[in-house]
Amino acid sequence: MYSTLLTSLENGILTITINRPDKLNALNKDVFNDLETVMNEVYQKAEIKSAIITGSGSKAFVAGADIAEFSSFNKEQAVALSKRGQDVFFKIENSPKPVIAAVNGFALGGGCELAMSCHFRICSDNAKFGQPEVNLGLIPGYGGTQRLTHLIGKGKSMELQMTAQIIDANEALVLKLVNHVTTQENLLVKAKAILEVIHTKAPIAISKIIDCINTAVVSDSAYTNGKSGFEKEADAFGDCFNTADMKEGTTAFLEKRKANFSGK
Ligand code: COA
């Protein structure tokens, strides 16, 4: 049914698996289209009570936005890409039914941003998190500047995003980026066990908790009309596409060599 996702429904839990293992499940246009459609299913179908988002294979949750897809974009295309990603992730974040990220490996760039748009995260002990966009002469464009700051605080968010440091599962737990760390074998078992507890509670109350907590952590009313922090991010993401360093960073990645930044 989906070209980039696998789905399975069991006990009211829809497990959504991003399925581009040869590209470490990188997010391209098709993945965004499929994620939007599957979230419509989650919103609309009574038989779906909650969802888990995970990645296929044992190595990656999602290794980021698909660098090959956007490396030749101009500013306008980049702003549109950022807004598209932000909108799909808003749809996940504002789901009236619980959505948990089960992070089974690399959650870098757009992958970390996808996990952060879920209501909470659990991960396997091999998981790695980071916003390494500055290595590409870029910034996060799918909400990372906003959500990582909300989740782990300004100082640590600044440090991680400026250094492009990749952190492991235990550090993610200490920073409260994830709620639980488990083995890879137990990851979906643990996610399902949590959701089964939530399924015993009142669904309308659960959806109101989601709505209220989302409102509490976002002071700039990103959940209504004034997406100020997110709009600024999309514009700044687009600005990066007018720089030589972004061309150098993405070209170097695709050519499998180290980037040589000029500051231009
Ligand atoms: N976009 C597009 N392709 C990606 C990708 C991305 N974000 N991340 C990985 N891939 C592709 C690689 O190009 C490679 O494709 P190929 O086999 O056709 O050459 C394949 O996935 C496997 O990745 P590879 O880099 O060979 O695996 P690795 O184990 O050596 O390294 C990572 C794993 C995650 C460290 C490395 O892939 C990486 O740094 N990815 C980019 C992370 C990033 O910067 N994300 C933010 C993007 S905005």
The CATH code of the domain that includes 210 is 1.10.12
- Judgement on whether residues 178 and 212 belong to the same structural domain of the protein: no
Sequence-ordered alpha helix ranges (H) in 60-201: 67-70, 75-93, 110-117, 144-152, 154-163, 169-174, 187-199
**152 and 249 inside one domain:** no
Distance 145 CA to ligand 1 centre (A): 21
Q: What's the distance, CA 44 to chain centroid? A: 22
**Residue 224: what pLDDT?**
46
Looking at residue 34, its amino acid is D
Does any domain span residue 33? yes
**Cβ pair 121, 113 in contact under 8 A:** no
In testing the pocket of ligand 1, which one of 20, 23, 134 has its CB within 8 Å of the most ligand atoms? 23
- The distance from CA 182 to its chain's CA centroid, rounded to whole angstroms, is 20
Write the CA distances from 49 to 18, 52, 114, 203, integer angstroms: 20, 11, 20, 8
Rounded-to-10 torsion of CA 82, 86, 89, 90: -170
Q: Kindly report, residue by residue over 65-89, the tens digit of the pLDDT.
A: 999 999 999 999 999 999 999 999 9
Number of domains forming the structure of the chain: 2
pLDDT tens for residues 184-233? 999 999 999 999 999 999 999 999 899 888 887 765 555 544 556 788 78
Is 133 catalytic? The answer is yes
Which atom of ligand 1 is least distant from the CA of 24? Answer: 21
Q: How far is the CA of 87 from the centre of ligand 1 (A)?
A: 24
Tokens 């009313």 belong to: 221
pLDDT digits (tens, 9 = 90+) for 82-110: 999 999 999 999 999 999 999 999 999 99
Residue 262 falls inside a structural domain: no
Query: Which CATH number is 48's domain given?
Result: 3.90.226.10
Distance 70 CA to ligand 1 centre (A): 14
**In this structure, are residues 19 and 104 in contact, taking their beta carbons and an 8 Å threshold?**
no
* pLDDT given for residue 228 in this prediction: 67
Known catalytic membership, residue 233: no
User: Within 13 Å, how many C-alpha atoms sit on residue 68's CB side?
Assistant: 9
Asked if 63 contacts 24 with a C-beta cutoff of 8 angstroms, the reply is yes
Query: What is the CB < 6 Å shell around ligand 1?
Result: 23-24, 26, 63-68, 106, 108-110, 132-133, 135-136
Tokens 């500013």 belong to residue? 75
SS3 50: strand
Q: Mark which of 196, 223, 246 sits at the end of a domain.
A: 196
Residue-wise pLDDT for 161-170, tens only, equals: 999 999 999 9
Q: Do 135 and 232 reside in the same domain of the chain?
A: no
- Max distance between CA atoms of the chain, in angstroms, equals 57
| Domain annotation covers residue 217 | yes
Work out the pLDDT band at 10, boundaries 50, 70, 90: very high
pLDDT-derived band at 142 (thresholds 50, 70, 90) equals very high
Q: What is the pLDDT of residues 13-47, one digit of tens each?
A: 999 999 999 999 999 999 999 999 999 999 999 99
Distance 23 CA to ligand 1 centre (A): 6
Q: How many CA atoms lie within 13 A of 43 on its CB side?
A: 12
Which protein residue's CA is at the shortest distance from atom 11 of ligand 1?
Answer: 23
Residue numbers of the domain that contains 141:
5-196
Q: So what's the pLDDT on residue 231?
A: 80
Q: How far apart are CA 249 and CA 76, in angstroms?
A: 19
Residue at 260 is within a domain: no
Element (H, E) at 17: strand 13-18
Question: Are 212 and 141 contained in the same domain?
Answer: no
Residues 6+ apart with CB under 8 A from 159: 165
Look at strands 128-130 and 167-168 and give their pairing.
antiparallel
Residue 263 maps to a domain: no
Q: Read off the amino acid at residue 3.
A: S
For ligand 1, atom 21, which residue shows the shortest CA distance? 23
**Average pLDDT, integer, range 115-141:** 98
Question: Which residue's CA is minimally distant from atom 32 of ligand 1?
Answer: 63
